[in-house]
Amino acid sequence: MPPQPPPGSGDSAFYNSDLIRTGLGAYGEKLFGSSKDYVQSNISRFLAGQDIHYYFQLNEQYVKNKLKIILFPFLHKGHWTRIAEQVAGGITYKPPRYDINAPDLYIPLMALATYVVLRCYALGFTGKFSPAVMQSSFSHGIGAWLVEVILVKGMLFAVGSGEVPWLDTLAYSGYSLVGMSLSIAATISSKYLFYFALLWTGICMGVFLVKTLKRVFLAEVRSYERDSSKHHYLLLFVAIAQVPIFLWFTRL
């Protein structure tokens, strides 16, 4: 049996690899498997009257295209408006399966789980992993999501668009976890790659939110005034705030 490396040696980052793999594997599987059930059983009670199943009506093609828009919004050549349809009682919107611009909760929840697992792995890679890291990483992920929700919802209230459904806001805000997860993954490679990924994903998330929120103002709640400098400044603030938020919640 080969001797075990002494504590504090250069291989300490990998010495507990079995513990990291076992812990992250079980935790990641549990987190991925229970995320949808958690939302449906807990958040749905708080958001009574909203159809939470709408936000999970998607397919693989939608997920791929949505991730492209989140990470490369500059390349999106199509429109940003949602597909509406007339039904008895008013107007409704096509679910994500049929509309790339529809909000969903599947991607944010999977991004949250990915954020937790990658943060745990990155800390383990540097020899800082412990069982408590799992809980703190989950708290960081929820905290990042909550900050984005407060930012977006506060901005909507400020411009008189507070009637936007909470689940829509939750979905739009949760997409930021996609970029944060990529930034943390880049940390494992190099510091320079981390900063590049941080700037890119932060800027892209800012562009995505500006495009999305302008659509909400103009087409969905019709409160957007083209000459309103207030709207322009608030949108600019939301966009600029993304990089600092990303930096804060991707620090290890």
Residue 89 falls inside a structural domain = yes
- Residue-wise pLDDT for 208-219, tens only, equals 999 998 887 766
Instruction: Determine, yes or no, domain membership for 154.
Output: yes
Confidence of residue 30 (pLDDT cuts 50, 70, 90): low
Residue 44 counted as domain residue: yes
> H/E/C letters for each residue in 59-104?
CHHHHHHHHHHHHCHHHCCCCCCCCEEEECCEEEECCHHHCCCCCC
pLDDT digits (tens, 9 = 90+) for 8-23: 444 444 445 555 555 5
pLDDT tens-digit series, residues 48-86: 557 899 999 999 999 999 999 999 999 998 888 888 887
> Structural domain tally of the chain?
1
Give a yes or no: residue 87 inside a domain.
yes
CA angle 30, 98, 177 (to 5 degrees): 40
65: containing domain: 15-250
Lowest mean pLDDT among 167-171, 186-190, 230-234: 230-234
Are the C-beta atoms of residues 202 and 180 closer than 8 Å to each other?
no
Tell me, yes or no, whether 9 lies in a domain: no
In a domain, 2, yes or no: no
Is 4 domain-assigned? no
Helix (H) or strand (E) holding 84: strand 84-87
Question: What integer pLDDT is reported at residue 14 of this predicted model?
Answer: 41
Residue 86 lies in a domain: yes
